[in-house]
Amino acid sequence: MPEAKILVVYFSRTGTTRLLASVLARMLAADLEEICDCSDREGPSGYLRSLADAIRRRPVEIVPAGLSVSKYDLVVIGSPVWASSVSAPVRSYLIENRAQLPHVAFFCSFGGRGADKALREMGELAGKPAVASCKVKAAAAHEDAHAALAAFVGGLKRHLARSSELAWMC
């Protein structure tokens, strides 16, 4: 049986979600791709622009993805939580790739609250439920990202093992 192909995709404004995505990609032996948007999100004005985009729940222009999600068995998608919502660049990515997404899993980094709502929103935008999800407080991500993600990775590996067994049986 061939090993599952996994892609970790993320957007990060401050670097926290990037850190989590990098750790996940290493733990899962996955390909890694950053979602890049065309807006300036640096500094206080970038923060306010990000907040406005989240509150309005509007997609934004993003750089076309370099990797095709249809070539993967599982796509793990990460977003910071903005105003109890998924980030605008991840919203755009999910909308653009919805029809081609295979199994999905979601993770988010957050500072205050709204992580559960953001994860639910990601599932709605993807048009399918996540096989697993994970929320990590920003402080925990910087203290020990491996510990924060260990249970999530374990759940993903169990899902992939079950999926592989079912495919082999068919």
Question: To the nearest whole number, what is the mean pLDDT of the chain?
Answer: 90
Model confidence at 46: pLDDT above 70: yes
- Note the pTM of the prediction, 2 decimals: 0.91
The answer as to CATH 2.115.10.20 being correct for domain 6-165 is no
pLDDT tens-digit series, residues 64-110: 989 999 999 999 999 999 999 999 999 999 999 999 999 999 999 99
What are the structural domain ranges in the chain? 6-165
Mean pLDDT along residues 118-131? 96
What pLDDT is attached to residue 2? 59
Reduced to 3 states, what is the DSSP secondary structure of residue 86?
A: strand
Residues 100 and 62: their CA atoms lie apart, in Å, by 17
Looking at 47-51, 70-74, 79-83, 133-137, which range is the least confident one? 47-51
Residue 170 has pLDDT above 80, yes or no: no
CB 105 within 8 A of CB 77: yes
- Predicted pLDDT at 43: 87
- State pLDDT tens for residues 146-156: 888 999 999 99
Residue 110: φ, ψ to 5° = -150, 155
168 pLDDT band, cuts 50/70/90, is very low
Higher-pLDDT residue of 44 and 119 is: 119
Per mean pLDDT, which range of 14-28, 42-56, 79-93 is the poorest? 42-56
On the CB side of 6, CA atoms within 13 Å amount to: 22
